[in-house]
A and B are shown apart, each in its own frame.
Chain A
Amino acid sequence: MEKEKNLHRLQCSYTCLDESFEIGKETYKGQQYSHIYFARLNLMRTLLHSLVSNWKPFSPVRPVLELEEGKECVIIGTLYKHMKLKPRVLDEYSKERSVVPLVKPHNFTHSDDYLVLEDEKGRVKLGGNFISPSVYATGVVVALHGKESGAGDFLVLDVLEAGLPPQIDRPLKSSEDKYVVLVSGLSIGSSNSNPLQFQLLIDHITGHLGDEMEQGIASQIVHVVIAGNSIEIPAGLINGQNLASKDLSRIAEPIKELDIMLNQIAAGLPLDIMPGPNDPSNFALPQQPLHRCLFPGSSAYNTFRSCSNPHCFELDNVRFLGTSGQNVDDLDKYSEAKDKLEFMERTLRWRHLAPTAPNTLGCYPFTDKDPFFIDSCPNVYFIGNQNKYETRIIKGSEGQLVRLICVPKFNETGVAVVLNLKDLECHALSFGTQLSS
């Protein structure tokens, strides 16, 4: 008879780096969003200035208002994309409905869109074929090399983006496989949610499934991250009216169920939960952690952590940065790329997690900082609530290496993502509860 073996779950060190996403005593005193753009431009300008001397050593950097016709120079500023199809709140009030072409089903880009570059004092329309409006979005800070054309436009000859931020070298110390599970879009409480599927995932993570080999793998899972949209409150319940008492209990049911499920994970291993667009947190980014009293069962464990969205943390010196997907989903509406990973790559190269905030993405009106500026390059960058699982490694010019991951909606796909901390290899973990016919 085989001797029974005791399996021990591996552990890893954890550091939470959410400080810049926390909203403490900030109050709203009438400040407008111009402050964020000011803070962003200042941060990025010092950065781009240092790069320009290597990029175009013989071109002077000028403010927009001091452009001279025909003289080549470099300008630094925030891009604004003028979009024909972008919905404007004023359109609803205009008596004469102008004939606006139909919006494409998935996004608002149009071939007539053009870019404008702004600094504190002025703005200039960008011309030429070098810079493609469909790639950029409002809020990105870049340096442009070119000259003013006769018509008052700035003819762009070259573009400089800030590029991937510097990365802290990661000592490759462990040779052990340690896995991190990323899951998002559980949507507990939605009409098509499948509790069995999630239960299978939990049983796999906690080691209640499979034979000894499978349990051995489960014991190497060191951390679970839930990237937003864990619950879905039944449609029609929230309409701004006071709720009847029986509806009040219905509204809390999905959270109760989630608490029961998370309880099982938290009893076994560390768990981070981030809020998403459907969760009971604030709407504007950065979303604040879900309150602990929503989870009376799980929050009793010190392994349970409610985190902000975006969320930044380190596991065994591997730096993670992730959102519940709003930043990339919004870029998808206002610019174009071949896949979601390309949007993610761009946000890293632009050094900004959510350039479209506050223009089209809800955002807290900060006055003295821009919390979405990426100052240090993560090793793993993930976004939640995507349609399908995608992953890629990108490399920077200074040897930076980033694993990009799109975490799919678990409710729709039954797929969670498993990442190996040792070599940043990544695979999908798929659960099915139906016999395929």
Chain B
Amino acid sequence: MKRFYRQRKNAVTDKPSKSRKKSKIPPTPLQAEYDPKEEKLRKFDMDMAYGPCVGMTRLERWGRAQNMGLNPPKEIESFLKSDSKDNKIDLECLWNKRIHGSYKTIEYFNFDNSFKKYIPLIS
């Protein structure tokens, strides 16, 4: 059994993992003040009629809703497409990087390791 589940100890074991606790929450927390465009975009994020928003950009989500014939508001698209240097608009959804565990990358199909079977980590 030992042979199968051999564990390798880390070289540094005495150091408590305090530094690890430094969270990966993005540097800018939700600001109290934001412009009315962002307000509308957040409302769009939270509108369940257009489906879940985690894991895709706002524009992708808008495009999906459009393809499904759900008639998402046109102004949302124009906001998102107007993003530029002096007119900063958040292209990611409200929850981006704020949901724990949503940032593990899974390699879906990797031929070099094709004997390994990949199982999604989240369900």
Contacts and interface: CB of A to CB of B under 8 A. Distances in A.
A282 B109 contact: yes
A35 B56 CA distance: 10
A30 B92 CA distance: 12
User: Number of contact residues on A: which range applies?
Assistant: 35 or more
A28 B64 contact: no
A34 B52 contact: yes
Interface of A: 23, 26-35, 38-39, 42, 46, 120-121, 233, 238-241, 251, 280-284, 288, 291, 358-359, 362-365, 367-368
B55 A32 contact: yes
Contacts, number: 89
Given A364-B108, A368-B64, A284 B119 contact: yes
A137 to B, nearest CB: 16
Contact of B103 (A30, A38, A39, A251): A30
Interface residues of B, number: 34
Interface string B84-123: 0000000000000001001111101101001101111011
A30 B99 contact: yes
11 contacts: A32-B52, A32-B55, A33-B120, A34-B52, A34-B54, A42-B51, A239-B4, A283-B117, A362-B119, A368-B63, A368-B64
Contact of B52 (A35, A46, A238, A241): A35
B103 A288 contact: no
B67 interface: yes
The 4 A-B residue pairs with the shortest CB-CB distance in the complex, in nearest-first order: A31-B55, A283-B117, A30-B102, A38-B51
Contacts of B111: 291
Contacts of B119: 283-284, 362
B115 to A, nearest CB: 6
A31 B56 contact: yes
A29 B99 CA distance: 12
A341 to B, nearest CB: 29
